[in-house]
């Protein structure tokens, strides 16, 4: 049967640009997602979205998380035929009024070619970037003619293999352990690393649009800004620097005087700077001395979380635009100094001060709240943050195998006083260091640091998850080529990422740590790769021991800071019932429970941990017995 394609026309109406500097038009609704190879077409798609969620919501596949569907649906991510298409019309006069029109796509996941009216305008290869094509006016049709925007995706699984095959030497680990049932060489792509499976999650190599898509109509100019707030000097909480980076886009490249005004209206603060522009796109750095009386932002349990609205107004040619962000005034210091014994063999301290007060960190590691990012609602995030606060937590570590979180995540962290240990998205692997990869990483870090640096909740930037340990202690059998991988490690985390972080967010704002775990200054003294990154006398530590009796405090390690640890438990039956069908599945060692366990011997380890202190249930009612097993795994984990 011939597949028919129907064009959905989106009629757009925007405000007249006469008298306005710029205007924005969202293209988040009425997409068509199709695949010629599978004879699939889904209309009326809203983004953010990805193919698994779209197909499930339209009734074309079962819930991807049900039973063994992670295996049954693998074909979806292996196909090169997925296209997201948007058709729209523009009013001729409104288009004519704009001197320039740009297109923005925020987070394309991941390998895609983007076409506007059949013209290729961009190839994407990094999920963690916002893509902005600055002048597309000449490609657009007006007079009520139809415009077509298409995003054509390539299989991330195939692209990862291709990148690995063409790289001059191996980039380990080539594949995850078999128990994870995952795909290979995710480290070759700038994509959510856990999307190819992890020891806690399934293999769903997502394909889709993870953020908004919109047009910007520029009559005169448009701008955006990033800002950090930090003490002028260490320990000085009366004098601050407001560190702004203003990016201005204009339709023409002529000399032009502008005024940039910064306001915090709640405390009647205003600062103004007169600047000159010469380029179409220009960045201006503005450092503002600030010494007004303010209330500090504090972590949960140490004080209030006072936030201020900071406005930036740009005036040019009698027109003005205003943008704003919420900021908080707080200082952060990572203290690494000799212990009270003053003996070098006792190592260094490793703790944080916020507003010159020692902070005892209490929290959790944060992995993506859903396998499919588009399913995470604001209410769900709010509930999780409320739970964290009520549990007396004051920190979450955004783990480096997931994503840089959504804006609402950091807004909630600000509101609830939850500090954020922010990893960059590299985890448990070696990574390429060819020029193209490093250039992409540099853009990624610049974008993400500038997007996030105004949030007072962010405590620290960390270069990666466990890669110092992986490389220096030879997880991957690379001893014969260790100098090559040591050099790659330094090139990525020290020579590429670190300078970008410190350029846009200096150490007085928050520190940069090369890895987690790391010996901190101890690793730096060993050229950034410590012989023992798990030294209890330095830095932070990750700790797992599934054989010890975790109820006995004598077994606990005593590191300077424990940034990752834990044992497993099963989720409650209310969650598992969405994925399990029959009573046959309801046992810690059933085929389905074993299938969903991605950590080697993980279910038996949970049983052994319970038996250290309790008796396993043996009820003849299978469902009741499973409920008791679940409860005991949770009790053991909570204890």
Specify whether 564 is catalytic.
Answer: yes
pLDDT in tens, 427-466: 999 999 999 999 999 999 999 999 999 999 999 999 999 9
pLDDT at 2 over 50: no
* Helix, strand, coil percentages in the chain from 3-state DSSP, rounded to 5: 25, 30, 45
Mean pLDDT rounded to a whole number for the chain: 95
pLDDT in tens, 523-565: 999 999 999 999 999 999 999 999 999 999 999 999 999 999 9
pLDDT at 4 over 80: no
pLDDT at 6 over 50: no
Judged by DSSP in three states, 473 sits in coil
Provide mean pLDDT across the span 467-474. 98
pLDDT in tens, 50-67: 999 999 999 999 999 999
Token pair belonging to 461: 């930037």
pTM of the model: 0.95
How many angstroms separate the CA atoms of 307 and 600, rounded?
A: 45
Q: Which of 282, 374, 405, 564 is catalytic?
A: 564
How many angstroms separate the CA atoms of 365 and 396, rounded?
A: 6
Q: What is the pLDDT of residue 16?
A: 36
Token pair belonging to 547: 């054989």
Which one has a higher pLDDT value, 108 or 581? Answer: 108
pLDDT at 94 over 80: no
Residues in Cβ contact with 552 at an 8 Å cutoff, skipping those fewer than 6 apart: none
Name the segment(s) of the chain with CATH classification 2.60.120.260: 9-214
pLDDT at 416 over 90: yes
Q: What's the distance, CA 521 to chain centroid?
A: 26
CATH number of 364-565: 3.20.20.80
Name the segment(s) of the chain with CATH classification 3.20.20.80: 364-565
Which one has a higher pLDDT value, 564 or 36? Answer: 564
CATH number of 220-327: 2.60.40.10
CA nearest neighbour of 395 among 570, 194, 561: 561
Q: What is the pLDDT of residue 23?
A: 87
pLDDT at 17 over 70: no
Specify whether 609 is catalytic.
Answer: no
DSSP state of 50: E
Predicted confidence band at 11 (pLDDT cuts at 50, 70, 90)? very low
How many angstroms separate the CA atoms of 408 and 411, rounded?
A: 5
Predicted confidence band at 473 (pLDDT cuts at 50, 70, 90)? very high
How many angstroms separate the CA atoms of 551 and 555, rounded?
A: 8
Q: Which of 244, 466, 468, 609 is catalytic?
A: 466
Provide mean pLDDT across the span 312-335. 97
Residues in Cβ contact with 423 at an 8 Å cutoff, skipping those fewer than 6 apart: 397, 398, 399, 400, 462, 463, 464, 465, 516
DSSP bridge pairs for 363: 395
Q: What's the distance, CA 160 to chain centroid?
A: 20
Percent of the chain with pLDDT over 70: 97
Predicted confidence band at 91 (pLDDT cuts at 50, 70, 90)? confident
Strands 31-35 and 100-106: unpaired
DSSP bridge pairs for 113: 123, 152
Name the segment(s) of the chain with CATH classification 2.60.40.10: 220-327
DSSP state of 137: G
CA nearest neighbour of 538 among 563, 566, 564, 561: 561
Q: What is the pLDDT of residue 19?
A: 53
Percent of the chain with pLDDT over 90: 92
pLDDT at 411 over 60: yes
pLDDT at 203 over 60: yes
Provide mean pLDDT across the span 228-251. 97
Q: What is the pLDDT of residue 135?
A: 87
pLDDT in tens, 335-393: 999 999 999 999 999 999 999 999 999 999 999 999 999 999 999 999 999 999 999 99
Residues in Cβ contact with 205 at an 8 Å cutoff, skipping those fewer than 6 apart: 77, 155, 156, 157, 183, 191, 195, 196
Query: Dihedral of the CA atoms 163, 168, 172, 174 (nearest 10)?
Result: 50
Q: What's the distance, CA 430 to chain centroid?
A: 19
Q: 484 and 506 in contact (C-beta within 8 Å)? A: no
CA nearest neighbour of 590 among 605, 604, 569: 604
CATH number of 9-214: 2.60.120.260
Would you tell me how many other CB atoms lie within 10 Å of the CB of residue 60? 12
Q: What are the two backbone dihedrals, phi and then psi, of residue 405, each rounded to the nearest 5 degrees?
A: -70, 165
């Amino acid at each position: 049967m011939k597949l028919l394609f129907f064009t959905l026309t989106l009629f757009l109406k925007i405000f007249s640009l006469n008298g306005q500097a710029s205007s924005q038009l969202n293209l988040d609704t009425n997409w068509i997602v199709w695949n010629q190879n599978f004879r699939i077409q889904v209309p009326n798609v809203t983004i953010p979205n990805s193919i698994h969620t779209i197909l499930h919501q339209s009734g074309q596949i079962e819930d991807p998380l049900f039973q063994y569907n992670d295996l049954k649906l693998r074909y979806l991510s292996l196909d090169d035929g997925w296209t997201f298409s948007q058709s729209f019309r523009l009013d001729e006069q409104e288009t004519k009024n704009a001197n320039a029109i740009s297109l923005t796509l925020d987070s394309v996941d991941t390998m895609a070619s983007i076409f506007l009216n059949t013209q290729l305008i961009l190839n994407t290869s990094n999920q963690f970037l916002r893509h902005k094509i600055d002048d597309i006016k000449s490609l657009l049709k007006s007079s009520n003619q139809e415009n077509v925007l298409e995003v054509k995706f390539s299989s991330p699984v195939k692209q990862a293999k291709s990148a690995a095959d063409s790289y001059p030497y191996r980039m380990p680990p080539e594949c995850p352990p078999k128990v994870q049932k995952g795909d290979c060489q995710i480290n070759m792509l700038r994509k959510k690393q856990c999307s190819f499976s992890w020891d806690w999650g399934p293999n769903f190599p997502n394909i889709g649009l993870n953020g908004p898509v919109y047009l910007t109509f520029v009559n005169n100019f448009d701008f955006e800004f990033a800002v950090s707030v930090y003490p002028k000097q260490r320990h000085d909480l009366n004098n601050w620097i407001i560190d702004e980076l203003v990016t201005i886009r204009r339709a023409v490249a002529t000399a032009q005087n502008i005024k940039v005004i910064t306001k915090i209206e709640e405390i009647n603060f205003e600062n103004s700077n007169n600047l000159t522009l010469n380029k179409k796109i220009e960045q201006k750095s503005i450092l503002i001395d600030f010494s007004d009386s303010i209330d500090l932002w504090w972590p949960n349990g140490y004080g209030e979380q006072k936030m201020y609205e900071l406005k930036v107004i740009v005036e040019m040619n009698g027109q003005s635009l205003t943008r704003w962000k919420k900021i908080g005034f707080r200082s952060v210091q990572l203290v690494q100094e000799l212990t009270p014994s003053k003996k070098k063999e006792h190592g260094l301290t490793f703790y944080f001060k916020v507003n010159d007060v020692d902070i005892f960190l209490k929290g959790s590691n944060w992995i993506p709240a859903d396998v499919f990012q588009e399913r995470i609602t604001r209410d769900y995030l709010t509930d999780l943050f409320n739970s964290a606060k009520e549990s007396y937590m004051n920190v979450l570590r955004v783990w480096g195998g997931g994503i840089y979180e959504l804006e609402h995540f950091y807004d909630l962290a600000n509101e609830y006083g939850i500090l954020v240990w922010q990893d960059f998205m590299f985890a448990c692997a070696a990574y390429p260091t060819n020029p193209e990869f490093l250039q992409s990483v540099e853009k990624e870090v610049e974008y993400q640091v500038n997007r996030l640096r105004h949030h007072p909740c962010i405590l620290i930037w960390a270069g990666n998850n466990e890669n110092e340990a992986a490389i220096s202690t030879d997880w991957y059998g690379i001893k014969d080529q260790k100098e090559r991988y040591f050099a790659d490690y330094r090139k990525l985390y020290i020579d590429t990422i670190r300078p970008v972080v410190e350029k846009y967010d200096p150490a007085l704002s928050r520190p940069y740590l090369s890895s987690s775990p790391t010996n901190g200054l101890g690793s730096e003294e060993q050229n950034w790769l410590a012989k023992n990154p798990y030294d209890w006398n330095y830095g932070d530590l990750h700790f797992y021991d599934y054989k010890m009796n975790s109820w006995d405090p004598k077994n606990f390690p005593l590191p300077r800071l424990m940034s990752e640890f834990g044992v497993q438990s099963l989720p409650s039956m209310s969650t598992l019932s969405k994925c399990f069908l029959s009573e046959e599945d309801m046992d810690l060692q059933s085929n389905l429970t074993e299938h969903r366990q991605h950590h080697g011997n993980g279910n038996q380890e949970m049983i052994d941990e319970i038996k250290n202190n309790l008796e396993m249930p043996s009820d003849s009612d299978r469902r009741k017995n499973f409920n008791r097993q679940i409860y005991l795994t949770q009790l053991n984990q909570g204890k």
